[in-house]
Amino acid sequence: MTTPATLPTENLPTGKLIDGKAFAATLRAQIAVDVAALKASHGVQPGLAVVLVGEDPASQIYVRNKAKQTVECGMKSVEHKLSADTPEADLLALIDTLNADPTIHGILVQLPVPKHIDADKIIAAIRPDKDVDGFHPMNAGLLATGGKALVPCTPLGCSLLLKDHLGDLSGKHAVVIGRSNIVGKPMAQLLLQESCTVTVAHSRTKDLPAVCREADIVVAAVGRPEMVKGDWLKPGAVVIDVGINRIALPDGKSKVVGDVDFASAAPVASAITPVPGGVGPMTIACLLKNTLTACQRSVGL
Ligand X SMILES: Nc1nc(=O)c2c([nH]1)NC[C@@H]1CN(c3ccc(C(=O)N[C@@H](CCC(=O)O)C(=O)O)cc3)C=[N+]21
User: Which residues are the active-site residues?
Assistant: 66, 110, 133
Using rule CB under 6 A, residue 133 touches ligand X: yes
- Is the Cβ of residue 133 or residue 216 nearer to ligand X in the bound state? 133
Where is 176: in which H helix or E strand? strand 173-177
- Is the Cβ of residue 116 or residue 246 nearer to ligand X in the bound state? 246
- By CB under 6 A, the residues from 137 to 176 that bind ligand X are 153
Where is 28: in which H helix or E strand? helix 20-42
CA distances from 97 to 124, 134, 200, 208 (A): 15, 19, 38, 46
Using rule CB under 6 A, residue 62 touches ligand X: yes
Longest dimension (CA), the chain: 56
Is the distance from CB of 141 to CB of 181 less than 8 angstroms? no
- Is the Cβ of residue 177 or residue 256 nearer to ligand X in the bound state? 256
- Residue 180 among known ligand-binding residues: yes
Is the alpha carbon torsion for 288, 285, 258, 189 positive or negative?
positive
Give the CB-nearest residue to ligand X. Answer: 280
- Is the Cβ of residue 208 or residue 294 nearer to ligand X in the bound state? 294
Using rule CB under 6 A, residue 276 touches ligand X: yes
- Residue 122 among known ligand-binding residues: no
- By CB under 6 A, the residues from 225 to 264 that bind ligand X are 244, 256
Percentage helix, strand, coil, to 5, in the chain? 40, 15, 40
CA atoms of 190 and 193, how far apart (whole Å): 5
Using rule CB under 6 A, residue 284 touches ligand X: yes
Is the distance from CB of 110 to CB of 52 less than 8 angstroms? yes
Using rule CB under 6 A, residue 281 touches ligand X: yes
Helix, strand or coil, per DSSP, at residue 62: helix
Number of residues lying near ligand X (CB under 6 A): 18
Where is 32: in which H helix or E strand? helix 20-42
Q: By CB under 6 A, name the one of 22, 29, 84, 111 that touches ligand X.
A: 111
**Binding segment (CB under 6 A) for ligand X, from list 108-116, 155-163, 196-204, 214-222:** 108-116
- Residue 244 among known ligand-binding residues: yes
Judged on CB neighbours under 10 Å (0-12, 13-18, 19+), 54 is: middle
**Binding segment (CB under 6 A) for ligand X, from list 28-36, 91-99, 105-113, 172-180:** 105-113
Q: By CB under 6 A, name the one of 77, 184, 280, 295 that touches ligand X.
A: 280
Binding region for ligand X (CB under 6 A): 5, 62, 65, 108-111, 133, 153, 244, 256, 275-277, 280-281, 283-284
Binding residues for NADP(+): 178-180, 244
